[in-house]
Amino acid sequence: MTEKIGVYVCHCGTNIAGIVDVEGVAKWAAEKLQRRGVVIARDYKFMCSSLGQELIEKDIKELGLTRVVVAACSPHLHERTFRNACKNAGLNPYLCELVSIREQVSWVHTDKAVATEKSKAIVSGGVERVIWHEPLEPLRVPIHPATLVVGGGIAGIQAALEIADAGYHVYMVEREPSIGGHMAQFDKTFPTLDCSACILTPKMVDVGNHPNITLLTWAEVTNVDGYIGNFQATIRQKTRCVKTELCTGCGICWEKCPKKVTDDVFEAGLGKRKAIYTPFPQAVPKYPVLDKETCTYFLKGTCKACEKFCPTGAIDFTQEDEFLQIDVGQIILATGWDLFDVRRMPQYGYGRLDNVFTSLEFERLSNASGPTGGKIVLRDGVTAPASVAIVHCVGSRDKNYNPYCSSICCMQSLKFAHLVHERTGAEVYNCYIDMRTPSKGYEEFYQRLLEEGTHFIRGKVAEVTNAARTNEEEGKLIVQVEDTLIGKQRRIPVEMVILSAGLEPRHDAKEVGRLFGISCSADGWYIERHPKLDPIATMTDGVYIAGVVQGPKDIPASVAQGAAAAARALGKIQQKEVAMEPIRATINQDMCSGCRICNNLCPFNAILFHEDKMVSEVNPALCQGCGTCVAGCPAGAISGTGFSNEQILAQLDGLLLLNIKRLEEVPA
């Protein structure tokens, strides 16, 4: 045996030591694995502390260790810590193996004896494996200084401006004709009630005018290749039918367009737009978009009113989709959310009972530049309601729809209650399950509403019906709810009902995620690298997430996450190059049959196929070392660095304690 192995067993306070006899494990390893090369085995209260690390470094130097096994928490948490400790002591960091006896043992077992035995087996597996480790060198790749921001809502805007202001180039791609996102649809923002447009539009204008930002609206990313530092993105610029270099945004075209269409996107179906339009007056960019599906010219072949009246000749009916190729180093996804489809809850009557509104509809109703000019009125367009019920948690916190809390609806509903009360003087009833107002200034806003005289009823609404039982209820919407504070069923007749619908992942979040090589949680939100310590990064290096794509959050939190993602990207740009994990798959080209099974298995699109040689090859910069292709290759032509057959089989040998059995058969 040529290797000198050190084994370090961590107590993790009582996290591990409470269930596992850590001293026993260390003693056992020193004794039983001595003939496998273990020269020292220690236990320590916190191996990850600087004292714990120094212990390892000292042993490497003084005992000349050539391999290190740490039995502690998951490699997710501290692999890097112990690799660095090895590196500091002059040992190649990849000659260290971290085995988990916390997540895989102490946290999931209750029987101390069994847990201790299992820990011994895991340590034994680690020792056998580490013998086969090879020194590896991380790959270094240069970082392209430009960043792609996908989604022009408040989170994307913030991220783009932070990076552009720092002097680096940003491509912003937005699917709709204008940036602004959902925030542009709101009238007021909670809890301060500032005008949403007043705080948002200056930022939109900054994006539009920034010399470092290339703004591509009415565009979508269709393909992404490459890896951190070197992504190539293909962007489809959808047909605008407007030459942006000539258009001045004067508005004559949409003034003259004879075709009125219901605006289901920006006006939530409450207002109209023309076939050629900008969604709202402060839209950025100012250029309109011609909607081919409703334009009279495209439907019937005649009209061309916009072209006739355009003073600069900017209308071009012959335009076609254009595809742009851009190179970027990093990508920030801020693609936002969709509103829960309240029709999925027919018991609340939306679509069947006229005066049931969605939260987005109400945002437009209350917006001064909305279809009613900010007048809160019933579906007839004139009558102000004398009584309004606001139903919380529609589609949220409900195992039949979405089990999660949408986070913003309580505050949004309080805002609605305030606006209704202020503008119509109506009686307002808020039906909530729990009132959740945990951020700065939110509880104070709730107190303010309590003082304003809004009625608060704690109970989940059972249904909204028009089945009147008395003359007073006749013609009203009746909200049936159990008031759990007084323990009684209540029927509340009102004239208007607002459904505070939850937030859902974008309908195409999954496909978009696949495009960028990131995945969704069970709820459909993009998965962050770590839920607490890294909610910005994803499992794909160089792709970050910001705003509601990561999970429901309000405007301040979205802005903070946008800025954080930008900071992360800027940090990488300034390092100019990035070190990449050398854990990679490689294909033995002599053994590859060219079947291409691995091409489709790779979740990171890292495998290319050489048509000429009929063999596949792994792009080492793109490969994340997941091992899927290794397991999938029918010819066994792919091996994973750090996960070779020898390493895996040796680890199994150790786990089953076959190594010790063999030793016992042969006398020392």
Partner 1 sequence: MKEYVYFPGCSLEKIAISYHLSALETTKKLDITLKELEDWNCCGATAYFHVDELLAYTLVARNLAMAEKMGTEVVAPCSACYKNMYFTKQHLAEDPDLTEHINDALQEDNLNYSGSVTVKHLIEVFSNDIGAEELKSKVVFPLTDLRVASYYGCQILRPKKDHEDVEQPHFFEDLMASIGATPVDFPLKLTCCGGSLLISSRPAAYSMIHNLLYDAQRAQADVIVTACPLCQVNLECYQQQVNQEYGTQFHIPVVYFTQLIGLALGIPPKKLGFGKEFLSPKKAIDAIKNIKSQEEVITQ
Range in contact with partner 1 (rule: CB under 8 A) among 212-220, 461-469, 528-536, 658-666: 461-469
Kindly state the greatest CA–CA separation across the chain: 99
Phi-psi label, residue 550: left if phi above 0, alpha if psi -120 to 50, beta otherwise? alpha
Distant-in-sequence, close-in-space partners of 237: CB < 8 Å, separation ≥ 6: 216, 218, 219, 321, 322, 323, 324
Query: Looking at beta carbons only, is 2 or 470 nearer to partner 1?
Result: 470
> What is the C-alpha separation between 170 and 332, in angstroms, rounded?
10
Give the torsion sign (CA, 336, 561, 218, 542): negative
Range in contact with partner 1 (rule: CB under 8 A) among 16-24, 320-328, 460-468, 560-568: 460-468
> What is the C-alpha separation between 103 and 76, in angstroms, rounded?
11
Query: Looking at beta carbons only, is 308 or 352 nearer to partner 1?
Result: 352
Pick from 620, 612, 626, 616: nearest CA to 595: 616
Query: Looking at beta carbons only, is 346 or 425 nearer to partner 1?
Result: 346
Query: Looking at beta carbons only, is 200 or 345 nearer to partner 1?
Result: 345
- Closest CB 399 distance from partner 1, rounded Å: 12
SS (H, E, C) 79-147: HHHHHHHHHHCCCCHHHEEEEECHHHHHCCCCCHHHHHHHHHHHHHHHHHHHHCCCCCCCEEEECCCCE
> What is the C-alpha separation between 666 and 668, in angstroms, rounded?
6
Query: Looking at beta carbons only, is 462 or 635 nearer to partner 1?
Result: 462
- Closest CB 333 distance from partner 1, rounded Å: 34
Residues 341-360 that bind partner 1 (CB under 8 A): 345-347, 352
The one among 439, 466, 619, 628 contacting partner 1 by CB under 8 A: 466
- Closest CB 352 distance from partner 1, rounded Å: 7
403 binds partner 1 (CB under 8 A): no
- Closest CB 392 distance from partner 1, rounded Å: 19
136 binds partner 1 (CB under 8 A): no
Residue type at position 80: R
Query: Looking at beta carbons only, is 478 or 563 nearer to partner 1?
Result: 478
Range in contact with partner 1 (rule: CB under 8 A) among 11-19, 81-89, 339-347, 438-446: 339-347
- Closest CB 337 distance from partner 1, rounded Å: 25
- Closest CB 497 distance from partner 1, rounded Å: 14
CA angle 151, 152, 153 (to 5 degrees): 100
Query: Looking at beta carbons only, is 489 or 588 nearer to partner 1?
Result: 489
- Closest CB 476 distance from partner 1, rounded Å: 13
Q: Identify the helix (H) or strand (E) that includes residue 488.
A: strand 488-494
> What is the C-alpha separation between 191 and 445, in angstroms, rounded?
6
Could you tell me if 157 and 179 are in contact, meaning their C-beta atoms sit under 8 angstroms apart? yes
468 binds partner 1 (CB under 8 A): yes
* Helix, strand, coil fractions of the chain, as percent rounded to 5: 35, 25, 40
411 binds partner 1 (CB under 8 A): no
Query: Looking at beta carbons only, is 261 or 468 nearer to partner 1?
Result: 468
Residues 531-570 that bind partner 1 (CB under 8 A): none
The one among 66, 294, 412, 465 contacting partner 1 by CB under 8 A: 465
CA angle 497, 501, 506 (to 5 degrees): 150
> How many residues touch partner 1 (CB under 8 A)?
10
Query: Looking at beta carbons only, is 206 or 473 nearer to partner 1?
Result: 473
Range in contact with partner 1 (rule: CB under 8 A) among 143-151, 466-474, 481-489, 658-666: 466-474
- Closest CB 465 distance from partner 1, rounded Å: 5
Could you tell me if 295 and 259 are in contact, meaning their C-beta atoms sit under 8 angstroms apart? yes
- Closest CB 489 distance from partner 1, rounded Å: 12
Tokens of 1: 């045996």
- Closest CB 462 distance from partner 1, rounded Å: 10
Range in contact with partner 1 (rule: CB under 8 A) among 228-236, 391-399, 465-473, 523-531: 465-473
Pick from 642, 668, 554, 659: nearest CA to 132: 642
Tokens of 262: 């219901």
Query: Looking at beta carbons only, is 153 or 395 nearer to partner 1?
Result: 395
- Closest CB 463 distance from partner 1, rounded Å: 8
402 binds partner 1 (CB under 8 A): no
Q: For residue 318, count other CB atoms closer than 10 A to its CB.
A: 6
- Closest CB 348 distance from partner 1, rounded Å: 9
Distant-in-sequence, close-in-space partners of 35: CB < 8 Å, separation ≥ 6: 1, 663, 668
Chain centre to alpha carbon of residue 504:
12
Query: Looking at beta carbons only, is 246 or 462 nearer to partner 1?
Result: 462
> What is the C-alpha separation between 629 and 648, in angstroms, rounded?
16
Range in contact with partner 1 (rule: CB under 8 A) among 124-132, 236-244, 340-348, 650-658: 340-348
3-state DSSP call for residue 286? coil
- Closest CB 400 distance from partner 1, rounded Å: 9
Query: Looking at beta carbons only, is 138 or 346 nearer to partner 1?
Result: 346
Query: Looking at beta carbons only, is 272 or 352 nearer to partner 1?
Result: 352
Residues within the interface to partner 1 (CB under 8 A): 345-347, 352, 463, 465-469
